[in-house]
Amino acid sequence: MEESHRITSINHDIFFGNAGQILSNYLDQHPEKKPVLIADENTLKYCWPVLLNASKRLNHAKIIQIKSGEENKNIAGCKMVWETLVNLKISRNDIIINLGGGVVTDLGGFVASTFKRGVPFIQIPTSLLAMVDASIGGKVGVDFVGLKNVIGNFSMPELVIVDVHFLKSLPDLQMKCGFAEVLKHGAILDNAYWQEATKSSCLNLEHIKSLVFRSVELKNSLVLSDFEDTHDRKKLNFGHTIGHAIETHYLNSSTVLLHGEAVAIGMIGEAWLGKESGITSEACLNNLIRTVLKTYKIPNIGFETHDALLEIMRNDKKNIGSTINFTFLKEIGVSVINQTASEPQIRKALSFLNEIAMD
């Protein structure tokens, strides 16, 4: 895609194309802004050189490196970055560039939005997950006391730059991670997009590149209609109530389980709950299970973990009062928000996941 491809969001544009050139154009238009880069060890190695080659001004950028991995998306990480920004004498007239996956864009955006009550920032997502989800929509935040994104706010960037060429550097596991959110967008909003997404493997790079624009377009449509997540934007929560609980539980275990994998598992669990509640059709549930299991393995979620998972769900930020809140599907492409399930039903859903778990 060329730079002319863009989507208008709230107070900013999402550009699709050559990240180096788009960023260089922005910096040329804002010579007064001192650039500060936030990146992890991977994006500094594989993605930062691409930007450096496009803009001489970036040779003088201040670089703040954070550690990759969800376990590092916390207040301690923020504190380190805030202290560095103080030492660098960064002002509200400068610009923070977040180059990385969801951890970098979430933490970097939160740091920028809170430092001196807000420093402008640019999101340059480098993972599939960040391109189609984490960097889109203005949600920024970090994990706290074992709860996902429980500290955060809504803060829009100056711009988002999506360059699908960065996907070449991603390992297969990271592609699978992001593909879960692609599937989710089709499942909740667009059956035709679901059909297109499931035509080929998530490891087919050209196929995945062809899906990114529409996925961003779908998410942005909900952001535009419901920025503060009080109504239709809640559709994006499908798979995330159970998924976040599973992801959080496994953060401190020897089992490696990325966000997208947990969401894929959560989508099956929540589709099963929808079926039990008489909302999700059996054909929809079976379609979802069949599709998810082509790409993702479900770990054995033993009965001994159910209490811990339920406790995490009780503290989910999406809840209304003491009621655990879900988004359910009616059919592929049609979803309903503010659905509930009893704790015995949720335990049954977790047991169902065990039944289809792969060793």
Model pLDDT for residues 65-105, shown as the tens digit of each residue: 999 999 999 999 999 999 999 999 999 999 999 999 999 99
Beta bridge mates, 336: 328
Sign of CA dihedral 324, 329, 333, 335: negative
Three-state DSSP state, 320 = strand
Q: C-alpha angle 313/130/21, rounded to 5°?
A: 165
Q: Are 246 and 163 in contact (CB under 8 A)?
A: no
Beta bridge mates, 325: 340
One-letter amino acid at 319 equals: N
List domains and CATH numbers for the chain.
5-169 (3.40.50.1970), 172-355 (1.20.1090.10)
CA distances from 292 to 132, 211, 218 (A): 18, 17, 20
The predicted-structure confidence for 276-306, as pLDDT tens digits, reads as follows 999 999 999 999 999 999 999 998 888 889 9
- CA dist 148 and 19 (Å) reads 29
- CA dist 170 and 30 (Å) reads 31
Percent of all residues in the chain with a pLDDT value above 70, rounded to a whole number: 98
- CA dist 32 and 61 (Å) reads 13
Q: CB-based burial of residue 299 (10 Å sphere; 0-12 exposed, 13-18 middle, 19+ buried)?
A: buried
The predicted-structure confidence for 17-30, as pLDDT tens digits, reads as follows 999 999 999 999 99
One-letter amino acid at 332 equals: I
Nearest C-alpha neighbor of 153 from the set 200, 193, 121 = 121
Element containing residue 171 per DSSP (H, E):
none
Give the residue carrying structure tokens 């260089």: 24
Percent of all residues in the chain with a pLDDT value above 90, rounded to a whole number: 90
**Residues 340/297/135/207 CA torsion (nearest 10 deg):** -120
- CA dist 56 and 58 (Å) reads 5
Q: Which pLDDT score is estimated for 3? A: 45
Asked whether residue 316 carries a pLDDT value surpassing 70, the answer given is yes
As a whole number, mean pLDDT of residues 140-159 equals: 95
pLDDT band (50, 70, 90) for residue 358: low
The interaxial angle of helices 282-295 and 259-276, nearest 10 deg, is: 160
Q: C-alpha angle 212/210/70, rounded to 5°?
A: 35
pLDDT band (50, 70, 90) for residue 317: confident
As a whole number, mean pLDDT of residues 44-55 equals: 95
The predicted-structure confidence for 184-238, as pLDDT tens digits, reads as follows 999 999 999 999 999 999 999 999 999 999 999 999 999 999 999 999 999 999 9
The number of C-alpha atoms within 13 Å of 135 and in the hemisphere containing its C-beta is 36
CA distances from 47 to 27, 28, 95, 168 (A): 18, 20, 18, 10
**Residues 54/55/60/62 CA torsion (nearest 10 deg):** -70
Asked whether residue 1 carries a pLDDT value surpassing 50, the answer given is no
Asked whether residue 4 carries a pLDDT value surpassing 60, the answer given is no
Q: What backbone torsions phi and psi does residue 307 show, to the nearest 5 degrees?
A: -60, -45
Write down the H helix ranges in the chain. Answer: 19-29, 41-46, 48-52, 75-87, 102-114, 128-129, 172-189, 191-197, 205-225, 240-250, 259-276, 282-295, 306-314, 343-355
Q: C-alpha angle 346/328/288, rounded to 5°?
A: 90
